[in-house]
């Protein structure tokens, strides 16, 4: 499981690195299951200090070899997101049409936020991106507006807090190992290998969720 938020550049880089590492260990790990962990769970306009801090993190991530496309425009323009929950609710709504739609929407929302600098907490932005990838819009909009969808996301967030998750990205391997913060690709590969050696001795054909 990977706990994260679409407005976090480090979550995006972490997913790419974890997926690449899991591919090297083909057959031992199931596809990444994403769990929402909103960095801004409640609507509150970010202060100038918060905006500068968020922009600084994006610029830092952009210096990574796999982060060159990232921009800090999301936090430096006049339309910074007040909260990040709406985008995560949108992902939960897309999941109802299949995991492939959730993956597609997550990728496009990340691009919208972290490359194009669009405020993905805005309803019109969420609708436009969902339409662009081809979601069934009547089903998506109904789920997006349903109180149960937001409630489910918040319940996952509260459960994560109760389980000791405090920051993103946080990777949980086999419900046993918690890896906090973004790591280099080689480090993720070493961690996954150590987990397999510890749990399975690299033998057999286990699939770890």
Query: Does some domain include residue 145?
Result: yes
Residue 69 lies in a domain: yes
| Residue 118: inside a domain | yes
Name every residue whose Cβ is closer than 8 Å to that of residue 167 and which is 6 or more positions away in sequence.
180, 181
Closest CA to 19 of 119, 129, 103, 110: 103
For residues 158 and 1, is the Cβ–Cβ distance under 8 A? no
Residue 161's domain spans which residues? 2-200
pLDDT given at position 202: 58
SS3 call for 173: strand
Is 5:11 a contact under the CB 8 Å cutoff?
A: yes
Q: What is the pTM of this model?
A: 0.91
Q: Is residue 207 part of a domain?
A: no
206 part of a folded domain: no
User: What pairing do the DSSP bridges indicate for beta strands 34-36 and 177-180?
Assistant: unpaired
Asked, for residue 51, whether it belongs to a domain, the answer is yes
Q: Is the pLDDT of residue 208 over 70?
A: no
Q: 35-85, pLDDT tens digit by residue?
A: 999 999 999 999 999 999 999 999 999 999 999 999 999 999 889 999 999
CB atoms < 10 A from the CB of 60, how many? 14
Q: What is the 3-state secondary structure (H, E, C) of 66-102?
A: CCCCCCCHHHHCCCCCCCCHHHHHHHHHHHCCCHHHH
Is residue 208 domain-resident? no
Q: How many domains would you assign to the chain?
A: 1
Is 18 within the bounds of a domain? yes
**Per-residue pLDDT tens for 107-142?**
999 999 999 999 999 999 999 999 999 999 999 999
Q: How many CB atoms lie under 10 A from the CB of residue 9? A: 26
The CA distance from 172 to 177, in Å, is 5
For residue 11, what pLDDT band results from cuts at 50, 70 and 90?
Answer: very high
Give 149-202 pLDDT, tens digit per residue: 999 999 999 999 998 899 999 999 988 899 999 999 999 999 999 999 998 775
Output 149-154 pairs: Cβ under 8 A, ≥24 positions apart: 149/89, 149/92, 149/93, 150/85, 150/89, 152/92, 153/36, 153/38, 153/85, 153/88, 153/89, 153/92, 154/41, 154/85
pLDDT at residue 94 greater than cutoff 90: yes
The CATH number covering residue 55 comes to 3.40.30.10
CA torsion through residues 112, 116, 117, 122, sign: negative
Query: What tokens does 119 get?
Result: 């405020």
Distance (Å, whole) CA 67 – CA 30: 25
């Amino acid at each position: 499981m990977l706990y994260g938020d679409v407005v976090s550049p480090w979550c995006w880089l972490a997913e790419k690195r974890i997926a690449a590492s899991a591919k090297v260990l083909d057959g031992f790990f199931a596809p990444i299951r994403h769990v929402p962990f909103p960095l801004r769970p409640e609507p509150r306009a970010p202060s100038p200090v918060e905006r500068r801090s968020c922009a600084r993190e994006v610029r830092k991530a952009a210096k990574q070899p796999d982060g060159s496309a990232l921009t800090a425009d999301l936090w430096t323009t006049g339309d910074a997101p007040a909260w990040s929950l709406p985008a995560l609710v949108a992902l939960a709504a897309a999941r109802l049409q299949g995991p492939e739609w959730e993956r597609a929407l997550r990728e496009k929302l990340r691009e919208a936020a972290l490359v194009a600098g669009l405020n993905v907490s805005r309803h019109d932005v969420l609708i436009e991106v969902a339409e662009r990838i081809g979601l069934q819009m009547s089903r998506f909009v109904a789920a997006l507006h349903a109180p149960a969808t937001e409630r489910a996301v918040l319940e996952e967030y509260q459960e994560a807090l109760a389980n000791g998750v405090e920051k993103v990205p946080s990777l949980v391997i086999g419900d046993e190992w918690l890896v906090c913060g973004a790591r280099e690709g080689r480090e993720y590969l070493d961690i996954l290998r150590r987990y397999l050696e510890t749990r399975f001795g690299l033998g057999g054909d286990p699939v770890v969720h």
